[in-house]
Amino acid sequence: MARYEEVSMSGYEEFTQVVEQHRGKTIFAYFSGFKDTEGKSWCPDCVQAEPVVREGLKHVGEGWVFIYCQVGEKPYWKDPNNDFRKKLELTAVPTLLKYGTPQKLVESECLQADLVGMLFSED
């Protein structure tokens, strides 16, 4: 059995529902560009960062939650008024954050295994 729970979804509404369902738990969220039916994302940095983030999951604590959230198609993401930008104050994808804290890694920081490991290791 996994030490943590992983939930994958697409869109801001689903993200908020999952966060609400896991209230009181330590939540990490990884925001990535939308993947097509072949599993390809429009975001090349997201493609490069995903294996680094997944490797870092070995540092996640017991009972924690890892959310993999696709932010949508490129035109939606580029809209400065999208919900991710306005309500979560995301500035770029990929972004990995510890929900409810200021701790986050953005873009190229998500490619650095040591930073990813440190974020996941902090209580």
Q: Are 18 and 9 in contact (CB under 8 A)?
A: yes
8-state DSSP, 90: -
Annotated catalytic residue 43: yes
Cα dihedral 22/26/28/29 (nearest 10): 30
Determine if the peptide bond prior to 102 is cis (ω within 30°).
no
SS3 8: strand
b/e map of 57-79 (b: 16 or more CB within 10 Å)? beebeeebbbbbbbbbeeeebee
Annotated catalytic residue 69: no
Q: Which of 46, 65, 67, 88 is catalytic?
A: 46
Q: Give me the residue label for tokens 């975001």.
A: 43
Q: Which of 7, 19, 29, 43 is catalytic?
A: 43
Active-site positions read: 43, 46
